[in-house]
Amino acid sequence: MNTPAVLVVDDTPASLGVVCDSLRREGVRVLLADSGDAARAVLARERPEVILLDVVMPGENGFAVCGSLKAHVEWRDIPVVFLTAIDDPGQKVRALSAGAVDYVTKPVHVPELVARVRVQLELRAARRALVAKNAELESEVALRLDAEEQLSASLDRAVVLLDRDGRLLFATRLAHDLMAKFSVVPASLVRTPRVTIPDGALNIRRFHETGRDELIMLALEEEHAPPGPAALCALGLTPRQAEVAYWVAQGKTNPETATILGTSPRTVDKHMERILSRLCLENRSGLIVTAGNLLRPTRP
């Protein structure tokens, strides 16, 4: 990790020698400038975390220097702490209006100033961590969206993964639903290619790799199954939104849908807001009608 730096801009930097020494003891690099021009020259080659800026300097005063820094796109986010011997409320307001984050009166109480600088350093570090975290989250969202796109084609697939002893290792939601509907346990699926009940039939397809039997993958296919969530992707919904819309179209409430999908009601609420907005619908009744048109079962 780089050592944080603080730029001290004062026409008599020696007067702040004790402050500089205290900052160095805190593990901070201290950069010195005795004018606005000198400060800008330092900033052209260094990027301090905080700037301590004297208000009263010959020529260009602290307010003018601060204004020039805030007008520079690469320097405007560096926090500026004004230092001045003038203890006047109007000066403090002017300092803050110029873009400063803090205002310290001379003669400086060194422990207080060091503490204020430490706060600014911690805030800068926290902002950087937040930016990094946001970038990480954006990357994660992008990966999840990519995975969602890859899975969209198999949204309605009923897949079961067993070990060699027939113990269930994984099953999609649709597979669980079909096993419940046809009253079968996972191990029994290995021994039969078809299960029938009065109102339907379930075909079981087995996939395996020659010479390896530690994993058994089965695909369950219900004959003449009614359209499922994937049919709603035709409306321009994401696979997850299609799942939410499917269960709402089945008459489920948002809390019931959340339970089915293993998520929170608030998440379903947010999905519903986006679904209605995307489909230009006013309420869930409109969604039920729109989705229902695509979910009507078709028989050969």
Check pLDDT > 70 for residue 284.
yes
Average pLDDT rounded to a whole number, residues 23-35? 89
pLDDT at 38: 92
Q: What is the sign of the dihedral through the CA atoms of 95, 100, 105 and 106?
A: negative
Nearest alpha-carbon partner for 248 in 293, 294, 287, 295: 287
Number of other CB atoms surrounding residue 19 within 10 Å: 23
Structure tokens at 172: 């999609």
For the chain, give the mean pLDDT.
85
Check pLDDT > 60 for residue 298.
no
User: In terms of CATH architecture, what is 229-295?
Assistant: Orthogonal Bundle (1.10)
Interior angle at CA 1, CA 17 and CA 125, nearest 5: 75
pLDDT tens digits along 208-259 = 777 777 888 999 998 887 788 888 988 999 888 898 999 999 999 999 998 8
CATH 1.10.10.10 residue ranges of the chain are 229-295
Q: Give the number of C-alpha atoms closer than 13 A to the C-alpha of residue 273, restricted to the C-beta side.
A: 6
What CA–CA distance (Å, rounded) separates 149 from 199? 34
The residues, ordered by sequence, that sit 6+ positions from 120 with a Cβ below 8 Å of its Cβ are: 49, 50, 79, 81, 101, 102
Give residue 300's pLDDT band: very low, low, confident or very high (50, 70, 90): very low
DSSP H/E element including 7: strand 5-9
What CATH number has the domain spanning 5-128?
Answer: 3.40.50.2300
Average pLDDT rounded to a whole number, residues 157-180? 86
Give residue 95's pLDDT band: very low, low, confident or very high (50, 70, 90): confident
Of the chain, the end-to-end C-alpha distance in Å amounts to 68
Give residue 173's pLDDT band: very low, low, confident or very high (50, 70, 90): confident
Q: What are phi and psi of 263, to 5 degrees?
A: -135, -170
User: What is the pTM (predicted TM-score) of this model?
Assistant: 0.47
CATH 3.40.50.2300 residue ranges of the chain are 5-128
The residue that leads in pLDDT, 85 or 257, is 257
Average pLDDT rounded to a whole number, residues 191-206? 87
Check pLDDT > 70 for residue 297.
no
